[in-house]
Structure 1
Amino acid sequence: MVWHVAVRDLLATLRDRRTLLGTILIPLLLIPLFTLGLPQLLGQFVGGQQQERQKVGVVGTLPPALRTALERDEKAPDGSVLRAGVTLVAVTDPRAAVADGDVEAALRAPAALPTRAGDGTGTLEVYAKLTSLRAQTGAYGKVENTIDAYNRTLTLERLTALGLNADTLTPIQIKPVDASPPQQQRSGQLAFLIPLLMLNFILTGAMATALDATAGEKERGTLESLLVSPVRRGEVVAGKLLATTLTALTSACFSVLGFLASGFVAGLLQRGQSASSAELSQAFGGQLSLSFGAAVALIGAAISAALLISAILIALSIYARSYKEAQTYVTPLSLAIVIPAVLLQFSDFLSTGPALYAIPLFGSMLAILDTVRGTVTAPNVLIAIAANLLGAFVLALVARRSFGREEVIFRN
């Protein structure tokens, strides 16, 4: 009887094409767009700024060597431009020139700048829109790097004249070695978006079935006919919970397919990119590749989250008089997913002990993020799954009690 109730609700869901669109097509399209398109777009923007020549205004006189360094292009051995120089133009008011957009940055030397080490120090004022990512990755960043290189050149010339070499400035050199697991290195800085998108699509997939199977049936008057049939109330709740969970898991499965497709396509695209753009895209987006154990952990966390979300939706929407009223009840639930999921980008600052994994939904988000990064452990996943299952069981009992109360069933 549980399966019959579930099939009845699933067929009602399948008749709505918009539900199928939100459950299947949207995860396959939006997930690659966010996890692949956004990082690729950022990589193209930042990498494009490096290969594009920007106008930089100049007030006063710059040392010839510094002008040459600013205007020079950095090229790869094959002749391709790794970082383009800037075009220096004369301006009278550097602040106004930057504010009006005539130049992207402006240089002003109040006094003559030194042309060699030992000639004293000088100050070079750099005008730019410092809150702009375009300036930071473009003209301002190029000027800053060139000035650092110019200062180092003057210092090395002075050291050479004294019979010293460059190692005199850096007696101890740092060699960074990434000790994080390979999957965490590949996951990228936007890995926290994966649990956010996955649970949001689980909520979207479950919402259509849960609301239609409770408030929708009350509005159409078909719930009464089901309750007077020879089906126990517990079987009705279990059937509706099963149908809602299956719809949610369908959306979750296509979400995982979207992530895997994003990782595969990202690898193909990075082969055809320049080194700088590929590095930036990898840093932001990364790639998702799962081992068998990680896939089992991801599926377990997704199933338990889907059960809990389905139980919450059914317990809430059965109180509604109409479908629209049910939507107002469950809409804040998305905030309960979005806000903790956004906080996952600061998960490195959290002491991720068993207590955090025991928080329903949030624990499964942490488990999914650990799976993506390759740092998942079996005890933490089991704690997260158990917390979700316990929460789903309690809410299913609440929904079972609601289905047995006439003032709830007939309150429309």
Structure 2
Amino acid sequence: MRPDFVWRVAARDLLSTLRDTRTLLGTVLIPLVLIPVLMLGTPLLLGQFIGGQAQKRQQVGVMGTLPAELRERLGQDGQPEQTGAGAGAEHTGVELVPLNGNSPEVARQAVQSEQVDAVIRVTAPLPEREGDAPAQVQVFAKLNSLAAQTGALGKVEAAVTSYNHALAARRLAAAGLSEDDLSPVRLDRQDASTVQEASSGQLAFLIPLLMMNFILSGAMATALDSTAGEKERGTLESLLVSPVRRSEVVAGKLLATTLSALVAALFSVLGFLGTGLIAGLLLQRGGMQADLSQAFGGQLALGAGGFASLLLSAVGAALLLSALLIALSIYARSYKEAQTYVTPLSLVIVLPALFLQFSDGFSTAFYAIPLFGSMLSVMDSVTGTLKWPQLWLSLGANLLTTLLLAALALRSFQREEVIFRN
């Protein structure tokens, strides 16, 4: 192939992409804006929601008789939480509302109709002092509701746990024992993670997911327009009758698509680094809970080696996705038809990315899986645990798959029934 002809084809397609303002916004501005919003805005909103539930006094229906001490604990206001999503929020108690009847159906109906947030149903006398027989109390709430879990249901469970703890402590004291006698060995958990592993957060697996999605979206704009879009406009025929070899056409379009994808990848990395800077400023000013920032990877920091490995992983993924998009799009008769072919590709990224949170248990062989190996390499780059042989393995798998897909695209470009079937 002649490099100058390859570059002319690539420049032609890149120029067409640059003329589309919406594509530029999606490739450049959206990663810079959307990533900080997702990585920082989500935990902040979650903290505000949980804190609001903690400060709100929910209504809890009561069926039967509750011990006086338990009723007091249910309505008692607590101290502000020091850790967790609701850190800094003062926990209020609940308002007990007596309900008529004592059947499970009435309790469920009261919750479903939002008459109360939860219902406590007492079917047998509850223990009030040490030595009393154990008993069961039912709590009706919407268990799949985050508002219930952080509000009424959570407060009822906390009050019952505290009540049980008090009864157990008095029972131990009556027997001449203390709480230390129940747990003579205490477990002191120490974090053995590196600084970068700890700062990347528990949800660091979202970083490869978002990066691959931005690479895909950046490549789609150029790939679809340079294949199905040109077929629809009738400009592909003029390119194919010019003194440019079909292999040079495929190579040029692959180069243009890969460059568009890498631009999106670069700005997504800048978005992650910007997120770390913003999170650091918020933490210094006390505007963001430290545990939430850490959980969502708000303190991402990359050294020279980490940035280089991240860039290499992005190049491998961009080449593979670009070749796949071109091979699929050339079969489409129109731009809209091509979109229907490539839209499900997002599932190829989302579904494997869900397993990245268990990446510690993956062997080296998983890095040989095309695209998924790049996700693992990005994850390792973020956490600072990347080993270079694994990076080369993932990069090699992507390059080999890219060559196979490029050969498939070249075969399609050489078949007139594919090129002219629009």
Q: State whether TM-score is above 0.5.
A: yes
**Residues 118, 48 of structure 1: alpha-carbon distance in 2 compared, 3 angstrom cutoff:** same
* SS in structure 2 of the partner of residue 75 of structure 1: coil
Superposed CA deviations along residues 32-71 of structure 1, whole A, max 9, x for unmatched, are 2332222322232223322322222223333332222222
Determine whether 1:25 maps to 2:35: no
2:94 to 50, 63, 86: 86
Aligned counterpart, 2:318: 306
- Mapped pair 1:360 → 2:370: yes
Give how far 1:281 is off: 5.3
Question: Is the 2:81–2:91 contact (alpha carbons within 8 Å) kept by the matching residues of 1?
Answer: no
**Do 1:43 and 1:281's aligned partners in 2 also have CA atoms closer than 8 Å?**
no
Structure 1 position 188 matched with structure 2 position 201: yes
Shift of 1:6: 1.4
Contact 1:156 1:165 in 2 (8 A): yes
- Structure 1 residues 77 and 5: CA distance shift in structure 2, 3 A: closer
Distance change >3 Å, CA 224–CA 119, structure 1 → 2 = closer
User: Alignment partner for residue 184 of structure 2, among 171, 176, 190?
Assistant: 171
Q: Which string of whole-angstrom CA distances, capped at 9 and with x for unpartnered residues, describes residues 158-182 of structure 1?
A: 3223332220121122222232333
Per-residue deviation at 1:247?
A: 0.6
The secondary structure found in structure 1 opposite 2:35 is helix
Count of matched residue positions in the alignment of Structure 1 and Structure 2: 408
Compared CA separation, residues 343 and 95, structure 1 to 2 (3 A): same
User: Which residue does the alignment assign to 1:52?
Assistant: 56
For 2:28, what is the secondary structure of its paired residue?
Answer: helix
Q: Which of 72, 76, 86 lines up with 1:72 in the alignment?
A: 76
Cα distance, 1:270 vs. partner? 4.6
2: CA distance, partners of 1:227 / 1:112: 87
Q: What is the CA-CA distance between 1:279 and the residue it aligns to?
A: 2.9
Pairing partner for 1:332 from 344, 362, 381: 344
* Cα contact 1:42–1:281 (8 A) shared by 2: no
Change (3 A) 1:52 1:179: farther
- Unmatched runs of 5 consecutive residues or more in structure 1: none
| Deviation (angstroms), 1:329 | 2.7
Q: CA deviation at 1:11?
A: 0.7
Provide the residue aligned with 1:234 in structure 2. Answer: 247
Deviation string, structure 1 residues 128-170 (Cα, Å, up to 9, x no partner): 2222222122111121122112212122223223332220121
* CA drift at 1:252: 1.0
Shifted more, 277-286 versus 46-55: the winner is 277-286
The alignment status of 1:374 with 2:378, answered yes or no, reads: no
- Equivalence for 1:128: 141
Classify the secondary structure of the residue corresponding to 1:376.
Answer: coil
- Whichever residue aligns with residue 398 of structure 2, its letter is N
TM-score normalized by the length of structure 1:
0.90
TM-score (norm 2): 0.88
Correspondence list, 1:279-318, <5 A: 279-280=291-292, 282-284=294-296, 286-318=298-330
C-alpha distance after superposition, 1:253-301 (max 9, x if no partner): 11112222223333444556689x5534543554322222111111110
* Structure-2 residue corresponding to 1:4: 8
The answer as to 2:268 corresponding to 1:260 is no
Runs (5+) with no aligned partner, structure 2: 83-87, 102-106
